[in-house]
């Protein structure tokens, strides 16, 4: 599966349990940044459709990480969490 196909399946909510587990495994800090970036985007798309506590917790961890190198990941995670909790589109100030 290509990265574009993975993101499309996540957006459609049609990932398999094995694919969801692979996304979860690629969210860890020891994963190379390009793979972690893809996993973060896929997790964000997935939790928009599915209640997934494990992926949500990983996105919270990413959102709370202050490492300047992870700013892009942090933005994706914060937006995903806002959408999943119903704050998407509302003016919200995040102090993480």
In a domain, 80, yes or no: yes
> How confident is the prediction for the chain on average, in pLDDT?
87
> Can you give the pTM of this predicted structure?
0.81
pLDDT digits (tens, 9 = 90+) for 12-52: 999 999 999 999 999 988 999 899 989 998 998 998 888 89
Give the count of domains, the chain. Answer: 1
The domain of 16 spans 3-84
In a domain, 92, yes or no: no
Q: For residue 44, how far is the Cα from the chain centroid?
A: 3
pLDDT value of residue 51: 87
pLDDT value of residue 96: 55
Say if residues 22 and 57 touch (Cβ distance below 8 Å): no
pLDDT digits (tens, 9 = 90+) for 7-17: 999 999 999 99
In a domain, 26, yes or no: yes
H helix runs in the chain, sequence order: 3-12, 17-25, 33-47, 53-64, 71-84
């Amino acid at each position: 599966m290509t990265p574009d196909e993975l993101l499309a399946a996540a957006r459609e909510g049609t990932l398999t349990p094995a694919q969801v587990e692979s996304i979860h495994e690629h969210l860890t800090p020891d994963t190379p940044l390009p793979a972690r970036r893809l996993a973060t985007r896929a997790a964000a798309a997935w939790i928009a459709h599915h209640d997934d506590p494990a992926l949500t917790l990983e996105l919270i961890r990413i959102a709370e990480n202050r490492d300047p190198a992870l700013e892009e990941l942090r933005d994706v995670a914060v937006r995903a969490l806002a959408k999943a909790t119903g704050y998407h589109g509302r003016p919200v100030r995040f102090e993480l």
